[in-house]
């Protein structure tokens, strides 16, 4: 399979009127990434090349979001429909002899597996165009796939133009199509915009191809939810829900206990080790790594850059941002741990704040193995608490006042505990 010759042409120019947003539609977030990011990732996973993205509304913002990625951007100044978007890209494909996979930028649930199956079906059928279709229980609003007696596609009929019999067809056009490049660009200029919207529709290419006796095939996706597009905030939420459940089901298969899947929010690009338990009301953002046998939650927010080593426990109104939580270390009550490296077997008391931000920039705090951070402590970064060191309840360890290994500090600001007191205390303890 000559996948080198298959280009992805991603349509991402629309504003998404129904989103009622100032942000370009494809930048809206799904489980920790803009929806366009998923489509790009799928294109890369299928080794599609080149990847071209047609942008229009908010193009600068879209390009900036994906700066540094290998993308050939195409600017569509006016948004005159999907057909027009492909026309705008045509110049880039002069002399191109491969396939073109046209993808909407708003289908984050589409998997690489499905794209590969579509491409394989296209090649086997030696088709000029293969449409990815889906069987929907409620096909209302979608273009229906009309097949002839032998199962070949004869037309796509828009919902509003469909007869009563056609309305009963449950196979719909996903808007995802692969073309023999020469067939597509040999015909794209013939599209007309003489319709109610005054737009050029890519689906009309099917009619033009059929008229020239070109072969149009169809491949039906197994799970119709993969081709769900996002045109409103409600659909954004629905697609997000499906994506989350997909993520959570994968973790459960791999041996993670998710106590209440409906009340657990885990984004993409997260790793969680076997026999870790995720308690309800937990939010884990993209990029977090959780080891084996950990406990997370309830009421916990693990943010970007956080790593929990095996056996670590974080819970009960605790937020960690760029924190390394060492092996078997516990931070289980009302704590904010920002930009911190904590060694193994440490105990972070209730109400601990690691203050990483001084109003201008963020600094690192280091807490040694076996340290005991007393309840209500505030550690002001940059600062270091040594191995097996102790901070008293309510201590405010100020910037650069490092606590040595085994040291004990108390008070506001925190200062070393005087020897006498320590001894007295020890006696008392006996």
Restricted to residues 208-237, the positions that interact with a second copy (CB under 8 A) are 232-234, 236-237
Cβ 139 vs Cβ 157: under 8 Å: no
Distance of CA 87 to the CA centre of its chain: 30
Nearest to 329 by CA among 317, 314, 315, 316: 314
Phi, psi of 31, deg, nearest 5: 50, 40
Among 22, 78, 138, 194, binds a second copy (CB under 8 A): 22
Report the C-alpha gap between 280 and 259 in whole angstroms: 6
Taken as a whole, the chain contains a residue count of: 430
Would you state the structure tokens that stand for residue 297, as one six-digit string?
Answer: 């939650």
Query: Does residue 421 touch a second copy according to CB under 8 A?
Result: no
Min dist. Cβ of residue 382 to a second copy (A): 11
Query: Does residue 252 touch a second copy according to CB under 8 A?
Result: yes
Cβ 376 vs Cβ 393: under 8 Å: yes
Would you state the structure tokens that stand for residue 101, as one six-digit string?
Answer: 């996979």
Among 353, 362, 404, 416, binds a second copy (CB under 8 A): 353
Nearest to 414 by CA among 402, 429, 430: 402
Query: Does residue 427 touch a second copy according to CB under 8 A?
Result: no
User: Of the two residues 202 and 378, which places its CB atom closer to a second copy in the complex?
Assistant: 378
b/e 127-152 (16+ beta carbons within 10 angstroms → b)? bbbbbbbbebeebeebbbbeeeeeee
Min dist. Cβ of residue 430 to a second copy (A): 13
Query: Does residue 96 touch a second copy according to CB under 8 A?
Result: no
Query: Does residue 59 touch a second copy according to CB under 8 A?
Result: no
Query: Does residue 347 touch a second copy according to CB under 8 A?
Result: yes
User: Of the two residues 205 and 410, which places its CB atom closer to a second copy in the complex?
Assistant: 410
User: Of the two residues 154 and 398, which places its CB atom closer to a second copy in the complex?
Assistant: 398
Min dist. Cβ of residue 412 to a second copy (A): 5
β-partners of residue 265 are: 283
Query: 298 to 337, contacts with a second copy by CB under 8 A?
Result: 298-299, 301, 316-317, 319, 333-336
User: Of the two residues 49 and 375, which places its CB atom closer to a second copy in the complex?
Assistant: 375
Min dist. Cβ of residue 140 to a second copy (A): 17
Report the C-alpha gap between 43 and 90 in whole angstroms: 19
Question: 145: Cβ–Cβ under 8 A, 6 or more apart, which residues?
Answer: 131, 133, 153, 156, 169, 171, 172, 173, 218
User: Of the two residues 23 and 286, which places its CB atom closer to a second copy in the complex?
Assistant: 23
Query: 387 to 416, contacts with a second copy by CB under 8 A?
Result: 390, 392-394, 396, 398, 400, 410-413
**Given 28, 333, 363, 401, the catalytic residue:** 333
Distance of CA 40 to the CA centre of its chain: 11
Question: Does the active-site annotation cover 159?
Answer: no
Q: Which stretch binds a second copy (CB under 8 A): 6-14, 52-60, 64-72, 275-283?
A: 275-283
- Residue 5's alpha-carbon distances to 36, 47, 98, in angstroms, are 22, 10, 5
Q: Which stretch binds a second copy (CB under 8 A): 106-114, 194-202, 204-212, 295-303?
A: 295-303
Query: Does residue 382 touch a second copy according to CB under 8 A?
Result: no
Query: Does residue 64 touch a second copy according to CB under 8 A?
Result: no
Classify residue 82 by its DSSP letter: H
Min dist. Cβ of residue 59 to a second copy (A): 19
Min dist. Cβ of residue 96 to a second copy (A): 38
Query: Does residue 95 touch a second copy according to CB under 8 A?
Result: no
Query: 106 to 135, contacts with a second copy by CB under 8 A?
Result: none
User: Of the two residues 54 and 266, which places its CB atom closer to a second copy in the complex?
Assistant: 266
Nearest to 112 by CA among 39, 181, 26: 39
Cβ 65 vs Cβ 181: under 8 Å: no
Min dist. Cβ of residue 273 to a second copy (A): 11
Q: Which stretch binds a second copy (CB under 8 A): 4-12, 67-75, 350-358, 401-409?
A: 350-358
Token pair 């990815």 is at which residue? Answer: 132
Query: Does residue 105 touch a second copy according to CB under 8 A?
Result: no
CA atoms within 13 A on the CB side of 64: 6
Query: Does residue 45 touch a second copy according to CB under 8 A?
Result: no
Cβ 103 vs Cβ 9: under 8 Å: yes
User: Of the two residues 211 and 425, which places its CB atom closer to a second copy in the complex?
Assistant: 425
Element (H, E) at 329: none
- How many residues touch a second copy (CB under 8 A)? 73
Question: 129: Cβ–Cβ under 8 A, 6 or more apart, which residues?
Answer: 177, 178, 179, 180, 183, 184, 205, 206, 209, 214, 215, 216, 217
Token pair 């504003």 is at which residue? Answer: 15
Query: Does residue 245 touch a second copy according to CB under 8 A?
Result: no
Min dist. Cβ of residue 377 to a second copy (A): 9
Catalytic residue positions, numbered: 333
């Amino acid at each position: 399979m000559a996948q080198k010759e298959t280009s992805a042409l991603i349509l991402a120019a629309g504003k998404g009127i129904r989103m009622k947003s100032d942000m370009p539609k494809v930048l809206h977030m799904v489980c920790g990434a803009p929806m366009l990011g998923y489509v790009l990732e799928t294109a890369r996973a299928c080794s599609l090349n080149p990847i071209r993205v047609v942008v229009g509304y908010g193009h600068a913002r879209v390009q900036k979001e994906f700066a540094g990625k290998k993308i050939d951007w195409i600017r569509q100044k006016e948004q005159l429909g999907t057909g027009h978007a492909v026309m705008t890209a045509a110049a880039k494909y002069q002399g191109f002899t491969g396939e073109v996979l046209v993808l909407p930028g708003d289908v984050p649930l589409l998997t690489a597996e499905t794209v590969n199956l579509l491409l394989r079906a296209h090649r086997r059928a030696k088709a000029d165009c293969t449409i990815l279709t889906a069987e929907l229980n409620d096909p209302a609003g979608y273009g229906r796939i009309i097949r002839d007696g032998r199962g070949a596609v004869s037309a796509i009929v828009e919902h509003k133009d469909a007869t009563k019999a056609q309305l009963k067809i449950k196979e719909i056009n996903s808007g995802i199509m692969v073309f023999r490049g020469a067939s597509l660009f040999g015909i794209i200029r013939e599209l007309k915009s003489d319709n109610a919207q005054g737009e050029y529709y890519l689906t009309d290419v099917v009619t033009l191809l059929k008229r020239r006796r070109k072969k149009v095939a169809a491949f039906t996706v197994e799970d119709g939810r993969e081709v769900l597009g996002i045109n409103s905030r409600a659909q954004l939420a629905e697609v997000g829900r499906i994506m989350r459940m997909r993520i959570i089901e994968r973790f459960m298969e791999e041996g993670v206990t998710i106590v209440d899947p409906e009340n657990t929010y885990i984004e993409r690009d997260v790793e969680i080790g076997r026999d870790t338990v995720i308690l309800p009301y937990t939010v884990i953002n993209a990029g977090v790594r959780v080891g084996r046998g950990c406990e997370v939650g309830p009421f916990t927010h693990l943010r970007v850059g956080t790593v929990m080593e095996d056996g670590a426990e974080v819970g009960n109104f605790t937020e960690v941002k760029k924190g390394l939580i060492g092996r078997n270390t516990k931070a289980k009550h009302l704590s904010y741990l920002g930009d911190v490296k904590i060694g193994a077997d440490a105990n972070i008391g209730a109400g601990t704040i690691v203050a990483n931000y001084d109003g201008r920039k963020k600094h690192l705090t280091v807490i040694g193995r076996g340290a005991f951070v007393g309840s209500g402590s505030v550690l002001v970064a940059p600062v270091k608490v040594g191995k097996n060191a102790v901070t008293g309840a309510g201590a405010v360890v100020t910037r650069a006042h490092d606590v040595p290994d085994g040291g004990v500090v108390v008070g506001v600001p925190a200062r070393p505990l005087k020897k006498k007191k320590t001894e007295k205390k020890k006696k008392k303890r006996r």
